[in-house]
Amino acid sequence: MELAHRATILTPSLTLSIDSKAKAMKAEGIDVCSFGAGEPDHDTPDHIKAAAMASLDGGFTKYTPSSGIPELRQAIADKFKNDNGIDYKPSQIIVSNGAKHSCYNAILATCQADDEVIIPAPFWLSYPEMVRLAGAEPVIVHTKQENDWKMTPEEFESAMTPRTKMVILNTPGNPTGSVYTKEELEALVEIAATEDILILSDEIYEKLTYDGAKHVSIASLSKTAYDLTITVNGFSKAYAMTGWRLGYLGAPEAIAKAIDAIQSHSTSNPCSFAQQGGLAALRGDQSAVEEMRAEFDLRRQYIVQRLRDIPKVTVVEPKGAFYVLANISALGLTSSNFSERLLSKHHVAVVPGVAFGDDRTVRLSYATGLDTIKKGLDRIEEFCKSL
């Protein structure tokens, strides 16, 4: 039996392998401090759960339109207008099984063999694999720490070729925590527009920004930006709904239509009662979002200070999401070596940056309680000083 080529080119997820090793150690009774989490440690707010349960009790258990129920698409259109300053009609919105699914749908609908897709590194590790699954080629741009891990217009331009079809931008970013300013995004759009390069804008962390950093949606910048951009968002991070599998995108009409066709023949509609939960999330009380953000912010400040106190470790203060990227290259280990030794000897799980395209760094998630963060940082400090 021969597997399809596309299945053989995928890299197994490194984040998942560290995570499973940490879980196995925990199961053996070892006290592991994990900074590996890629999801909020909070539970979904009660009013969202109640709406989904009520819809289940009411028999809302059948297929829905593949692109999502009309009420939810309208609520998302309203959200894009009010929160992001983007005018999408409900027909331009496709609800999916998560923001990850929306990214994949968007890439499948627009990219193919011979196309290149520019991805700034450190990147969210699924982007290059999705591009490969579509038969296209990821082109990695290595950003600089002194630029807060953000791609500059010059770096973007020099990665462009006549084959460039798309650029993927993720702000606030995972794993960097970087937030692009309006001016920085405008400069990138200006370059994309010279060759009609599509922009896949992953805005899943938009609600989690700190220190007055402001999230800016690329499609809101200008008519040119709007026409080139596919805006991806979802419920997982803002409303702690990772397990619900619910996300969405907004796009120019022709792209939305193509994505709907792909989705209708692959996954059909997103879960019916999860959509009712999503509707309650968007229409209901937003205070839980701010409570969660404020808690993340306290942890962020603590973790950054502690890491900065460790000799030879440097960090850019993250302005969004719930990750901090620590540059450990001055300690003389690769990111995998560092992470493996830290886990096996000191029982702390972090994610090696090599998974994100940057071997000088490790990612620490602060989507975990302050007690764990404190204990874990004591151990990290001890480990780094021993090197």
Ligand X SMILES: *Cc1c(COP(=O)(O)O)cnc(C)c1O
Query: Smallest distance from the beta carbon of 232 to ligand X, in angstroms?
Result: 7
Q: Which is nearer to ligand X, 269 or 329 (CB)?
A: 269
H helix runs in 267-359, sequence order: 272-283, 287-308, 335-346
Q: Which is nearer to ligand X, 98 or 138 (CB)?
A: 98
Which residues are CB-contacts of 115 (< 8 A; sequence separation ≥ 6)?
Answer: 134, 136, 137, 163, 164, 165, 166
**Sheet with strand 229-234: strands edge to edge:** 93-96, 247-250, 229-234, 198-202, 164-170, 116-121, 137-142
Cis peptide before 45 (omega within 30 of 0): no
Query: Smallest distance from the beta carbon of 367 to ligand X, in angstroms?
Result: 10
Which residues are CB-contacts of 156 (< 8 A; sequence separation ≥ 6)?
Answer: 118, 141, 167, 188, 191, 192
Cis peptide before 175 (omega within 30 of 0): yes
Cα 120 to Cα 151: distance, rounded to the nearest angstrom: 6
Q: Which is nearer to ligand X, 234 or 353 (CB)?
A: 234
Which is nearest to 202 in space by CA: 180, 222, 224? 180
Query: Smallest distance from the beta carbon of 236 to ligand X, in angstroms?
Result: 3
Q: Which is nearer to ligand X, 132 or 237 (CB)?
A: 237
Query: Smallest distance from the beta carbon of 8 to ligand X, in angstroms?
Result: 24
Query: Smallest distance from the beta carbon of 194 to ligand X, in angstroms?
Result: 27
Q: State which residue has the least CB distance to ligand X.
A: 98
DSSP 221: S
DSSP string, 20-58: HHHHHHHHTT---EE----S-SSPPPHHHHHHHHHHHHT
Q: Which is nearer to ligand X, 86 or 208 (CB)?
A: 208
Q: Which is nearer to ligand X, 236 or 335 (CB)?
A: 236
Query: Smallest distance from the beta carbon of 207 to ligand X, in angstroms?
Result: 13
**Chain contacts with ligand X (rule: CB under 6 A):** 38, 98-100, 124, 170, 174, 202, 204, 234, 236-237, 242, 247
